[in-house]
Amino acid sequence: MEIQYVPTTCPYCGCGCGFNLVNVDGKLVGVEPWKRNPVNEGKLCPKGNFSYEFVHREDRLTTPLIKKGGEFVEATWDEALDLVASKLTEMKEKNPEQLAFLSSARCTNEDNYTFQKFVRTVIGTNNVDHCARLCHGPSVAGLAQTFGSGAMTNSLESCAHSDVVFLIGTNTLEQHPLMWRRALQAKAKGAKIMVADPRFTPSAKQADLYIPFKSGTDVALLNSMMNVIIAEGLEDKEFVENRTTGYEELKEMVKKYPPEEAEKITGVPADLIREAALMYAKADNASLLFSMGITQHTVGTENVMSTSNLAMLTGNIGRPGTGVNPLRGQNNVQGACDMGALPVSFPGYQAVANEELVEKMTCSWGCSDLSCKPGLTVVEIMHAAHAGDIKGMYIMGENPMISDPDLQHVGEALNNLDFLVVQDIFLTETAELADVVLPAYSWAEKDGTFTSTERRVQYIRKAVEGPGESRDDWAITSDIATRMGSDLFKFNSAQEIFEEIRSVTPQYAGMNKERLEKPEALHWPCPDEEHPGTPILHAEKFSTPDGLGVFKAIEFKAPAENPDEEYPFILTTGRLLFHWHTGSMTRRSETLNREVSTGFVEINTEDAAKLGIKNKEMVKVKTRRGEIEVPAKVTNDIIQGTVFIPFHFAECAANMLTSGDALDPYAKMPELKVSAASIEKL
Ligand code: SF4
């Protein structure tokens, strides 16, 4: 019997926990804690513990597929890649702007880098985006405007040094369990935990202070907390004076949000707002954590900027135990953004609209004619496909038929394409609609790097052979590029690609192999090989041109859609401990799927009683986009007037109900956390 222990990084959330995959005679049989890993110190959540279970599934894609007469037929790689290359060449020659590309936060930095380089240098468009648009696009847009850098300010470990940990719009215990462990470490030393959420989540149940508020009213709540802090003279005057601009305007604006006024908007009793404000402001070190409860709104970017305002007002930036910390969902959301899988930037957030940077990238890549026209975002791409303006799409490792808003519209958009290529590990709901399906390696079969939510760049390592004829994502994309006549994709390994990444991405420049092999790896920015990396941003100055943080005076704006007589409930969506995003991996893990095998709608006990709905009864949930049938979960763990549906489950897909019509003007985020809905007993 041959046993191998291969150190790697978890494929699920952005915490980036490390562990060994255990390979016995060529098969993965389990995971083994890797105690030296500084992120999780040998601990794992259920998803990490059972992350190997989907790898050897019999329904893995093993050979390329081409659709003929409405049915998939197995093909050779030559047949499939020749077809993809010739179709993309033909469509590009007509108009490259009629093609769009979705990259993936589940794929490695090397996969994402290769993919966006292909889109830019071979196709000649910036129509490339990925699912960060639907989770932390507003975090990048908001933090860039206030702090000059769109990333999480502090490390995970830093949270353990907080005196107060404020969670708003994040159910950290379920979604980022190893980050939650850091909050508990702080609590064990006497810290207080505050949770603001419309649901009495498992995180809220362990909090010292729970602030139940109406989804979509974050700005009013945060403005009111700042109103109290300024009225009590608890602002950090020295920090505000020396390190920020725009304070006077903010101060004037928050005067409009005394707690009694904010109570009318948020539903939070005025005294509770005061208590929350004082608890946060009186802490020596307060860290603020958020996730998609903040970002998935048409005011997502403004919500994020409001969190920046609160942290700067109280001087909670630049030290251990402080910071504004967006918890990234997918394991490599940060990396996919860093690699330029975005319509507005090359790797390292270098703007495609900046002529000097276009010139620089043209020289670095040795190409010509890079487009400086910003591309379309995820939701815009689907709208354009629906309208017939996008005619071809290549999707790597994403499943918009579950993850995107208004799935009926998404299905119509994808069916409207002349040509769709999907590269994935399973025949997902999206892959079923493709003209060509290309089988890729899973994370356990790859070498490469992921960048976690705390900007830590870590290796993943090949622990087992991929099934059948599946291949590395970067190798498939490179082959298509070469068949289309490019000689810029002669990569032989992930490490070779990483060396090119370092050479064009300033934040990664100092990350050589020897340094990344160490268990602690490196946090970006790491501009040269002598630089120690940067676990905590903005310690001395912000990343803005003048080094000052920027207060933004932001007024509350109501969500794009509000309850009315026909649709009297606010529908909000989210995730569960045992599942991940579109469920393509966790629902194929026997252990995880056994825990929760289908969706449900959470409804408050009193609301359910009024509608005559009993626990576990089937109900119909309806919005202006569509309707689904789903079992009811009657509970007091959600405020009255709000219902919650997890979005993992295709058979009762929450995104049949959400809207992609209204978008955040900065980050193009749809209003995923607020839809007006009705419920009726079946
Ligand atoms: Fe994986 Fe996140 Fe769980 Fe860690 S906390 S084991 S990274 S899912």
SS3 504: helix
Q: Please identify, by atom number, the ligand 1 atom nearest to the C-alpha of residue 15.
A: 7
| CA 179–ligand 1 middle distance (angstroms) | 9
Q: Give the ipTM.
A: 1.00
Is the C-beta atom of 44 inside 6 A of ligand 1? yes
Is the C-beta atom of 320 inside 6 A of ligand 1? no
Per-residue pLDDT reduced to its tens digit, 118-131: 999 999 999 999 99
What is the residue-averaged pLDDT of the chain? 96
Q: Please identify, by atom number, the ligand 1 atom nearest to the C-alpha of residue 178.
A: 5
Most informative mutation of 45, 106, 580 for ligand 1 (most atoms within 8 A of CB): 45
State yes or no: pLDDT of 330 exceeds 90: no
State yes or no: pLDDT of 525 exceeds 90: yes
Is the C-beta atom of 13 inside 6 A of ligand 1? yes
> How deeply is 6 buried, as exposed, middle or buried, from its count of CB atoms within 10 A (0-12, 13-18, 19+)?
middle
Is the C-beta atom of 526 inside 6 A of ligand 1? no
Q: Structural domain tally of the chain?
A: 4
How many beta carbons lie within 10 A of that of residue 363, not counting itself?
10
Q: Please identify, by atom number, the ligand 1 atom nearest to the C-alpha of residue 331.
A: 7
Is the C-beta atom of 47 inside 6 A of ligand 1? yes
Per-residue pLDDT reduced to its tens digit, 537-550: 999 999 999 999 99
Q: Please identify, by atom number, the ligand 1 atom nearest to the C-alpha of residue 11.
A: 1
Q: Does one domain contain both 436 and 455?
A: yes
420 has which bridge partners?
Answer: 393
Considering the domain boundaries, does residue 107 fall inside one? yes
Q: Does one domain contain both 301 and 157?
A: yes
Q: Does one domain contain both 341 and 359?
A: yes
Cβ proximity of 387 and 379 under 8 Å: no
Considering the domain boundaries, does residue 631 fall inside one? yes
Is the C-beta atom of 581 inside 6 A of ligand 1? no
Per-residue pLDDT reduced to its tens digit, 460-490: 999 999 999 999 999 999 999 999 999 999 9
Considering the domain boundaries, does residue 237 fall inside one? yes
| CA 17–ligand 1 middle distance (angstroms) | 6
Residue 25's CATH number:
2.20.25.90
State the average pLDDT over residues 226-238. 98
d(CA 132, CA 130): 6
C-alpha distances in angstroms, 484 versus 206, 276, 440, 505? 56, 59, 20, 26
Considering the domain boundaries, does residue 433 fall inside one? yes
d(CA 645, CA 575): 8
Residue 474's CATH number:
3.40.50.740
Among residues 326, 354, 382, which one ends one of the domains?
326
Per-residue pLDDT reduced to its tens digit, 313-329: 999 999 999 999 999 98
Residue 148's CATH number:
3.40.228.10
| CA 399–ligand 1 middle distance (angstroms) | 21
**pLDDT tier for residue 38 given thresholds of 50, 70 and 90:** confident
Token digits of residue 25? 């005679």
Q: Does one domain contain both 631 and 518?
A: no
Most informative mutation of 10, 51, 330 for ligand 1 (most atoms within 8 A of CB): 10
Cα-Cα end-to-end distance for the chain: 56
Q: Does one domain contain both 11 and 102?
A: no
Specify the residue with its C-alpha closest to ligand 1, atom 1.
48
Q: SS3 for 159-197, per residue?
A: HHHCCEEEEECCCHHHHCHHHHHHHHHHHHCCCEEEEEC
Cβ proximity of 599 and 544 under 8 Å: no
Considering the domain boundaries, does residue 546 fall inside one? no
**pLDDT at residue 581, rounded to an integer:** 87
Q: Convert 518-529 to b/e letters by CB count within 10 Å (16 or more is b).
A: eeebbbbbbeee
Is the C-beta atom of 287 inside 6 A of ligand 1? no
Considering the domain boundaries, does residue 160 fall inside one? yes
Q: Does one domain contain both 350 and 219?
A: no
Most informative mutation of 9, 39, 40, 159 for ligand 1 (most atoms within 8 A of CB): 40
d(CA 634, CA 637): 9
| CA 236–ligand 1 middle distance (angstroms) | 35
**pLDDT at residue 45, rounded to an integer:** 96
| CA 48–ligand 1 middle distance (angstroms) | 5
Among residues 326, 346, 374, which one ends one of the domains?
326
Is the C-beta atom of 135 inside 6 A of ligand 1? no
| CA 53–ligand 1 middle distance (angstroms) | 15
| CA 603–ligand 1 middle distance (angstroms) | 28
SS3 305: helix
Is the C-beta atom of 17 inside 6 A of ligand 1? yes
| CA 176–ligand 1 middle distance (angstroms) | 6
Residue 663's CATH number:
2.40.40.20
State yes or no: pLDDT of 519 exceeds 90: no
| CA 356–ligand 1 middle distance (angstroms) | 40
**pLDDT at residue 53, rounded to an integer:** 96
Specify the residue with its C-alpha closest to ligand 1, atom 4.
17
Is the C-beta atom of 571 inside 6 A of ligand 1? no
**pLDDT at residue 33, rounded to an integer:** 83
d(CA 631, CA 619): 6
Sheet of strand 392-396: strand arrangement: 71-74, 65-68, 436-439, 419-424, 392-396, 99-102, 128-129
Is the C-beta atom of 460 inside 6 A of ligand 1? no
Q: Please identify, by atom number, the ligand 1 atom nearest to the C-alpha of residue 49.
A: 6
Q: Does one domain contain both 598 and 624?
A: yes
**pLDDT at residue 18, rounded to an integer:** 94
| CA 167–ligand 1 middle distance (angstroms) | 18
**pLDDT at residue 369, rounded to an integer:** 83
Residues of the domain holding 209: 137-326
Q: Give residues with Cβ within 8 angstroms of 585, minimum separation 6.
A: 11, 12, 51, 54, 425, 442
679 has which bridge partners?
Answer: 621
Instruction: Evaluate the omega torsion of the peptide bond into residue 347 and state whether it is cis, within 30 degrees of 0.
Output: no
Token digits of residue 12? 């699920």
Specify the residue with its C-alpha closest to ligand 1, atom 2.
13
Q: Does one domain contain both 322 and 426?
A: no
Token digits of residue 293? 């409860």
Considering the domain boundaries, does residue 528 fall inside one? no
Per-residue pLDDT reduced to its tens digit, 558-581: 999 999 999 999 999 999 999 998
Q: Does one domain contain both 109 and 253?
A: no
**pLDDT at residue 608, rounded to an integer:** 97
Q: Does one domain contain both 488 and 583?
A: no
State the average pLDDT over residues 612-633. 97
Using a pLDDT cut of 70, give the percent of the chain over it: 100
Q: Does one domain contain both 190 and 232?
A: yes
SS3 155: coil
Is the C-beta atom of 177 inside 6 A of ligand 1? yes
Q: Are strands 549-550 and 244-245 parallel, antiparallel or unpaired?
A: parallel
Q: Does one domain contain both 392 and 270?
A: no
Considering the domain boundaries, does residue 534 fall inside one? no
Is the C-beta atom of 592 inside 6 A of ligand 1? no
